[in-house]
Chain A
Amino acid sequence: MNTQPEPQSFAFDEIAEPLVAAAIGKYPAGKQMSAVKTLLDIAQRQMGRTTGSAWLPRAAMDSVAKRLGVPPIRVYEIATFYTMFNTKPVGKYHLQVCTTTPCWLRGSDDIVAACKHATGIEHFGASSADGVFTLTEVECLGACVNAPILQVNDDYYEDLDAARTEALLQDLKAGKPQPPAGSLGGRASSAPASGQTTLLPASGSAE
């Protein structure tokens, strides 16, 4: 498990500060609360940047509440509601496996098993012993056409199978940079897996 201690204080740093100002500036005076999700996201990313674990400690939520001039509970409600906000520490790589029907039909059970095997994590919601990975089960990621999907932090890796997943995670474990997002099966975008079937170069034409 990742045992990062609960920080006592949190302040937006020089990278986050302009983003915060811009987010709040989008809304008319008195409606700053509208920026709450943006600010929580900025805070979570700052935590990821500075501590290696993109999560929202209480101090960060309190500081968002203070910035927006709302009672802290209003921020806790939102931060706990959305699954993309982590109210507990997560690993450097947050693995989110989609197990909704299309992914499941395309073998997401294998992906889950591969994730567990490669990282040593025993169940969803847990982190690996080295603190590098956290595994979460998520609902539809909206990329069913390239199912099954594994989301690693912000990036989607598509067209997975057990071997590709294992290789991806071993690379990450070894400290290699994240490969470019998208299909790991070699297809471009969401084109048919067996190759292009339409808009082919003209053949057998009158010429």
Chain B
Amino acid sequence: MAKLTIDGIEVEVPNGSSVIQAAEAAGIEIPRFCYHERLSVAGNCRMCLVEIEKMPPKPVASCGMPVADGMVVHTDTEMVRKGRRGVMEFLLINHPLDCPICDQGGECDLQDEAVSYGRDASRYAEQKRAVSQPDWGPLVKTTMTRCIHCTRCVRFTTEVAGVAEIGGTYRGENTQISTYVEKALSSELSGNIIDLCPVGALTSKPYAFTARPWELRKTDSVDVLDALGTNIRVDARGAEVLRILPRLNDEVNEEWLGDKSRFAVDGLKRRRLDRPWLRENGKLRAASWEEAFAAIASRIKAAAPEKIGAIAGDLCDAESMLALKECLTALGSANLDCRQDGAVFDASRRAFYLFNTTIAGIEEADALLIIGGNPRHEAPVLNARIRKRWLAGGFAAGLVGEAGELTYPVERLGAGPEALRALADGTHPFAEVLKAAQRPMIILGAAALARPDGAALHAAAWKLAAQYNALRADWHGFNVLHHAAARVGGLDLGFLPGAGGKSTTAMLNGGVDVLWLLGADELDIKAIGANTFVIYQGHHGDAGAARADVILPGAAYTEKHGTYVNTEGRVQQGFAAVLPPGDAREDWTIIRALSAYLGHALPYDTLEQLRTHLAASYPVFGQPFARLAGNDATAPAGDGAALAAAPLKPVYANYYQTDVISRASPTMAACVAAHSPAQAEAAE
């Protein structure tokens, strides 16, 4: 630790910190453009100048200056102010004065600092430089004339995203931040460079010229387009969600957000279900809530309880799943499943289906075995965390399955489960890596669980974790990487077949007479029995709604207060940013109303009552997040030897369109067209 004085405030920071970090610890803000806590230090904007006593009498860039014991720093002297004013003047020489038409206006670091350090008039009478605008794909809009060459985007793509595509080309006044060979950025995290850009050089293409930041109503929420539970801020104006930005949470997403989660917002305005629909003579017609409820009630009353079933989809909040579960239980049915992918595995203990190491815990691991997943597509922010761990050194990763390119080197151990056998009996060379590791971790992709031999893979992966000492009191190295935001919540509250109940597969093919799909679209819709009466409750007119006999319009995640449990078992709540469109309602209220209509009124009338009930029935929803210890090594049920030979395929062939919201989004469609033209053609 080093003790130093900054503007008279004494502060103690770890050795190796920079002066700017020490100032932050002392609560003093130093202006900066190129410095960013999560990126390497470039030291090229020179805005963070400070004066340090007993140093050569010139300003020092505080971002690159390591602290020393006894240092006395001044951040607001005449020399510092003059230095910063000079830097500002140089930066503004070539920066256009186009703030009125710049999308960064109102949230621009350069604009803000110009208030403190800018001159009132320019002394520069020459021509400003102009730079051409390269096309970086459908997400990031470039106006490189505004670029001040801070290189944050270069460092982010190289270091965090692991896709080195942007660089600083040419030199001096001709410097350009560019890809040199014009192309769309191929990272799933590319949207973050928009947040990082301190000026208006990189802005959001779909959001261009849409709104000013001060017009927006900001609501904290949780992302549901992957299972990471990324903390987000929903910016809305009126009834419209305009954009989604990440919030800071070091435990989950640091400050990053995947492109799908950020840019699929325009899907929230399209193909929406805004009123109930009823199928009559094979055709859907608009109906009233009363008519829809009457149709449902007549069918449910006519059906035997064991012929009623419900499947919850990937985007559901815990409240609506609990309400639906209790509604079906009241009707006497145990046919429930939150695993619309048809997975059947032992979910009797939380440790069997959580990402037990935790996302932040990845940074403590020293070896990684990925079985049948593609973290880059299923959870890009988590993948960035793995890359961060790899960059720190002393980390080896192996992959069983057919995942595409990841952003860190992985040893490909084989496409099929035979590699697991070789690892289990120690004949595979990678077994030595796992054996030598102090904190090995195994990530089992949720797609593997949906295979016919899912339970066997589940048991085999667990046994590998036990065998390689990944299950200890101080370390839990067994992880399931889910890709559905609703999955862990559903498993936690037991949205699973009860005693004698049917699973997803059993409910299809006429297994039930009445099937309630709660936002379930990614199942084999064609396999639903021809005579099954389908209730689709959800927010988008997608596969489920097309098959439905009654459609109940629900709310999307930005339109309801919801509780979600992420893949590591973290319970988080999001708030409603806007109202659901038209006649649509928050999902739990629909179920509550229908339960009363059916004569089994659920015992809660407000969200608070429902949440109290939820926490009382399932204590994990009321407890603070804690890592599980791995001391109970009892394996999940499943014959670890009954593995099929088929290769382990990742769940998504296409990162950009995976759920009803992203499929409805024109921006995501443009991404598909830019990155995999073959897929875009096939979709047409």
Residues of A within 8 A of B (CB): 58, 70-74, 76-77, 80-81
Q: Are A81 and B181 in contact (CB under 8 A)?
A: no
Q: Are B164 and A81 in contact (CB under 8 A)?
A: no
Q: A58-B181, A73-B165 are in contact. List 18 more A-B contacts (CB 8 A).
A: A70-B164, A71-B158, A71-B164, A72-B180, A73-B164, A73-B166, A73-B179, A74-B164, A74-B167, A76-B167, A76-B180, A77-B167, A77-B169, A80-B170, A80-B171, A80-B180, A81-B169, A81-B170
- Residues of chain A lying within 8 A (CB to CB) of residue B332: none
Q: Are B181 and A72 in contact (CB under 8 A)?
A: yes
Q: Are A76 and B164 in contact (CB under 8 A)?
A: no
- Shortest Cβ distance from B172 into chain A, in angstroms? 9
Q: Which of A71, A80, A81 contacts B165 (CB 8 A)?
A: A71
Closest residue of chain B to A73, judged by CB?
A: B167
Interface size on B, residues (CB 8 A): 12
- Residues of chain B lying within 8 A (CB to CB) of residue A76: 167, 169, 180-181
- Residues of chain A lying within 8 A (CB to CB) of residue B179: 73
Residues in B134-181 with C-beta less than 8 Å from chain A? 158, 164-171, 179-181
Residues of B within 8 A of A (CB): 158, 164-171, 179-181
- Shortest Cβ distance from A41 into chain B, in angstroms? 18
- Residues of chain B lying within 8 A (CB to CB) of residue A73: 164-167, 179-180
- Shortest Cβ distance from B20 into chain A, in angstroms? 26
Q: Are A80 and B164 in contact (CB under 8 A)?
A: no
Complex-state Cα separation, A58 to B179, whole angstroms: 13
- 13 A–B contacts from the bound complex (CB under 8 Å): A72-B180, A73-B164, A73-B165, A74-B164, A76-B169, A76-B180, A76-B181, A77-B168, A77-B169, A80-B171, A80-B180, A81-B169, A81-B170
- Shortest Cβ distance from A7 into chain B, in angstroms? 15
Complex-state Cα separation, A74 to B154, whole angstroms: 11
Closest residue of chain B to A61, judged by CB?
A: B180
- Shortest Cβ distance from B414 into chain A, in angstroms? 25
- Residues of chain B lying within 8 A (CB to CB) of residue A74: 164, 167
- The CB with the most chain B CB atoms within 10 A, among A73, A76, A77, is that of A73
Closest residue of chain B to A77, judged by CB?
A: B167
- Residues of chain A lying within 8 A (CB to CB) of residue B170: 80-81
Complex-state Cα separation, A71 to B158, whole angstroms: 10
- Residues of chain A lying within 8 A (CB to CB) of residue B167: 73-74, 76-77
- Residues of chain B lying within 8 A (CB to CB) of residue A71: 158, 164-165
- Shortest Cβ distance from B170 into chain A, in angstroms? 5
- Shortest Cβ distance from A107 into chain B, in angstroms? 27
Complex-state Cα separation, A74 to B168, whole angstroms: 9
Complex-state Cα separation, A70 to B164, whole angstroms: 9
- Shortest Cβ distance from B183 into chain A, in angstroms? 10
- Sorted nearest first, the 7 A-B pairs with minimum C-beta distance are A71-B164, A76-B180, A73-B167, A77-B167, A80-B169, A80-B170, A81-B171
- Residues of chain A lying within 8 A (CB to CB) of residue B168: 77
